[in-house]
Structure 1
Amino acid sequence: MIAFLFVLLAALALVYVNLSTLAKGKAGRIIALSVLVLLFLSMTFRDTWAGSVAVAFFAVWLPNALLFYIPWTLYRIGYYFTQPHHLSRHFVRRVSRGLLGVTVGIALAMFAYGVPHNDDYKMMDLTVDLPSQYTEGFTAIFFSDIHVDPLFKAEKLQRFIAQADSIKPDYLLFGGDLADVSMEQLDAWGYDSLFKMLTSKAKVAAVAVNGNHESMQERAGSNPNDWMRKVGFVVLDDSTACIGKACFTGRTDYMVARGRDVLRRPLAELIPDSLQLTEIPQDSMGAVAANESVAGAPVVDSLADTAAARIAYDTTVVRRPWILLDHQPKGIEKGHVGRFPDMALSGHTHDGQFFPVTFIINYVWKVAYGKGALGGVFWLVSSGFDCWGPPVRFGSDSEFWIIKFKPHENVMPE
């Protein structure tokens, strides 16, 4: 976090230095300062349409501007120390104006291509061969990073709901980062009804975890976990649920844990076979609510209106595939002892979302996108269903995954 803040401050300083040369003297400094103030104001009012538009533009323009400003600034510094005469202020001003025009043009071109490309999300298919001890297969839809905000198009979610209805998955698995606005705003915009429609498409259960943007909502006073439960998700917050043919563990996101000033529970405490299994029948809406706790710890209902009398306890150890959901693909914690998940699912990275971040992201994460292995566990990282900030995809795709878990077939010897 400290390193990120340092890089951000250095980038903003570089922008200020270059924008301040757009005009003579005090006028240039006022222009540069005004741009930085506008950037911070847009972040403050990001839950408004105007604020979202400003954030979207700056998010695309800034990294591309730095691609030009960094070499130009290094050239100016080198020229200053190696040449007997300084660059003329008139020449510097002309170059600065030219670079601003070029970078704004690039940003607008990326919007022209990237907004329709983001709307045209992909359906990705994956077949997972289950180990020999599992004999029952199932289908899951995995999606992550919706980031509902004033620029998000409800029609995109409606299309997804229709496709989920045609697929008829056993499970809907959500990998975190639901919204960048308050839960009250989601209700006002009608997203509570839309997400209830979505979760109802899961034949067994819709399972969700929180992401780093949920930590921002918690700090602002919202309760994203309760909202997701209200619309039909089984929210796993450093907890495990064995529902139907599979067991799921959902990790508390690192930033959520930091915001709550708590430590994430060791994964060894969340292994399904070491837990008391708890299952709750379908509620009146057809959604399955389920949760588990370590023996001796309190059981918390997954839906706010679920009566304690409806909880049915199952203390029989059943071997079922174990799927881990962890918003950020940081891998399995060091020192983990015991059973490992059969598969892990993450989002968060957006596969960089747009150039040049699509190039940098592969140096930030060991598995920035797609299939890979972390800590000996098969890991799938999605680029996300939508975007943070600008609804722009340039060099990456919006998507959701259809995962078919293929059962092991016992072949009788001839």
Structure 2
Amino acid sequence: MGFVVLVFGVVALVHYYLWRRLVRATTLPGRTRRVLTWILLGLGALVPVTLVGSRTGWGHFLAWPGFFWIAVMFYLLVFLAALEIPRALALFALERRSRRRSEAALARRLADRRRARAAEPVLTGEPVPVRTGTHPGTASAAESPDPEPSARGGEPEAIGRRLFIARTAAAVAGVGALATVGYGVRTALGDPVIESVKVTLPRLDPRLSGLRFAVVSDIHLGPLTGTGHSERIVRMINSLQADVVAVVGDLVDGTVAELGRLARPLANLESRYGSYFVTGNHEYYTANGPDEWVEELGGLGIRTLRNERVEIAHGGAVLDLAGVDDVTGTGTGTGGTGTVPEGPDFERALGGRDRSRSVVLLAHQPVQAVQAAEHGVDLQLSGHTHGGQMAPFNLVVPVQQPVVAGLGEVGGTQVYVTRGAGFWGPPVRVGAPPEITLLELRA
């Protein structure tokens, strides 16, 4: 609950900042400002409705506009934040110029006043005629101080320049955000990139050299994807002619009743030694938990490794392939039949094995490699990070995960993290295109 409050609080603060920069700074008080304020309030309310609706299964018709606005909101924030320094410098230059003009105007007024006084006749005791249009005790036009800058138009000119600076910054941010999101939508909805990777395992039996894994994660079947999304992924995986297909979590964002039809193309996956799946955090976010999807995938010919391992016999040698549940399962009470423990159990998956064999572990989150290293895992295959999905989130992911994308190492265990073939939330990918990996083991 605390996390939800934090997220909504951040969203509220972001929208207040956007209002300050895009509405208040670019408009004068009046009808236009009121209309834009209400529009921004409506878009702000759309964010929590979309986030809650995507989790609970209702409000799917709001998914496209809601998630699209979340992406635009994020990049408006990024661009406006980047423009803060140039904007501040421009305002500083404006204030400095206005101050110089005010000082120059004051100097001119003082000089005019001195000249006017110098031109006055010297009093000789003769009566001074009263000028027409003046009253006793009222200063003459030459003696009266000049009007204030606001009356002469100086202040409106400064306001106009401030509006120009604010509107220019808003326009640059708006164009930049929309262009970035447009590029990101095209990337996210396009074909995944095929990444070919060779990983050398020092303890690998030479007879296993050349064993190939098709690795895919974070497909995220949901309200923004159709059957074509899963059909394309299956077609691309099959074209790789891999020995093993590994689906490392976050397959779905909903229940079997809602999304079962979108998963049916997975029955057509082809590989020499089978297709395997491990749960991701999003499987635990569904209303019915992961168990129904484990059963559904079994009917599609995909085996779920829930804290267990299998043997892959290839070229006269054997490789251990293990899988553990996602850490999100810990304490959820969704242990299934009772024979499957809640959350990851590395001892159950890896204990008692022949240590002379190399072992490849499927685990959704890269951070699980910390425990994998303690159990002597040679290679862990993971997803979860999306490679950051929308830059500059890739700079934030390392706070939580040891590897963002690609091949890394944790405690002596090599970890390959695929960027995922789908997307979560906004259908946008910037700097992290969708990926299917063809990973080949080398001795």
> Fold-level match, TM-score > 0.5?
yes
- Structure 2 unaligned runs (5+)? 96-157, 335-340
Aligned-partner SS, 2:207:
coil
**8 A Cα contact 1:16 1:33, kept in partner:** no
Determine what percentage of the aligned residue pairs are the same residue: 22
| Superposition deviation, residue 345 in structure 1 | 0.9
When Rg is computed on C-alpha atoms for both structures, the one with the higher figure is 2
Aligned mates of 1:264, 1:383 — CA distance in 2: 23
Higher helix fraction (1 or 2): 2
Check whether the contact 1:218–1:224 (CA below 8 A) recurs between aligned residues: no
Report the Cα distance in structure 2 between the residues aligned to 1:126 and 1:335, rounded to whole angstroms.
21
For residues 160 and 31 of structure 1, do their structure 2 counterparts lie closer, same or farther at Cα, with a shift above 3 Å needed?
A: closer
Selected match of 1:224 from 289, 293, 314: 293
Provide, for residues 121-141 of structure 1, a one-character-per-residue CA deviation record: whole Å limited to 9, x for no partner.
211112233445624322211
Q: What's the offset of the Cα at 1:253?
A: 1.2
Distance of aligned partners of 1:99 and 1:146 in 2 relative to their CA distance in 1, 3 Å threshold: farther
CA distance in 1: counterparts of 2:439 and 2:373, whole angstroms: 27
Which of residues 359, 370, 382 is equivalent to 1:322? 359
Give secondary structure in 1 for the equivalent of 2:282. Answer: helix
Q: Give the Å deviation of 1:172.
A: 0.4
Question: Residues 14 and 206 (structure 1 numbering): CA distance in 2 closer, same or farther, change over 3 Å?
Answer: same
String of CA shifts for 1:347-389, please: whole Å, max 9, x gaps.
1111111222234334553311111101210010111112112
The alignment partner of 1:259 has SS state of coil
Give the root-mean-square deviation of aligned CA atoms.
3.8
Name the counterpart of 2:73. Answer: 62
State the partner residue of 2:411.
375
Alignment of 1:76-225 (within 5 A): 101-118=171-188, 119-132=190-203, 134-137=205-208, 138-187=211-260, 190-198=261-269, 201-218=270-287, 223-225=292-294
- Taking the aligned partners of 1:381 and 1:192, their CA distance within structure 2 comes to 23
Aligned match for 1:44, one of 40, 52, 70: 52
- Cα distance, 1:65–1:95 mapped onto 2, change above 3 Å: farther
Letter in 2 for 1:53: W
Look up the SS of the partner of 1:330 in the other structure. helix
Q: Does structure 2 retain, via aligned residues, the 8 Å contact 1:57–1:107?
A: no
Contact persistence 1:126–1:404 (CA under 8 A): yes
Q: TM-score, normalised by structure 2?
A: 0.68
Q: Work out whether residues 55 and 389 of structure 1, in 8 Å CA contact, stay in contact via their aligned partners in 2.
A: no
What does 1:195-344 align with in structure 2 at a 5 Å threshold?
195-198=266-269, 201-218=270-287, 223-244=292-313, 245-260=318-333, 264-271=343-350, 274=352, 319-333=356-370, 337=374, 339-344=375-380
| CA deviations over 1:80-123 (Å, ceiling 9, x no partner) | xxx9xxxx999888777665554443333124322333313211
Once residues 72 and 117 of structure 1 are traced to their aligned partners in structure 2, the CA distance between those partners, rounded to angstroms, is 26
The structure-2 alpha-carbon separation of the partners of 1:40 and 1:220, relative to structure 1 and needing over 3 Å to count, comes to farther
- Please tell me whether the aligned partners of residues 382 and 417 of structure 2 are also in contact (alpha carbons under 8 angstroms): yes
Letter in 2 for 1:51: L
Report the alpha carbon displacement of residue 396 of structure 1 after superposing the two structures with TM.
Answer: 1.6
1:238/1:265 contact within 8 Å kept = yes
Conserved 8 A contact 1:172-1:207: yes
**Aligned residues of 2:226 and 2:262 also touching (Cα < 8 A):** no
Name the CA distance, whole Å, in 1 between partners of 2:299 and 2:227.
Answer: 19
Q: Distance in 2 between matches of 1:157 and 1:5?
A: 34
Please name the residue that 1:347 is paired with: 383
Indicate whether 1:35 and 2:114 are aligned.
no
Cα separation, partners in 2 of 1:41 and 1:170, compared to 1, 3 Å: same
Amino acid across the alignment from 1:350? H
8 A contact 1:169–1:203 mirrored in 2: yes
Q: Which amino acid in structure 1 is aligned with residue 67 of structure 2?
A: A
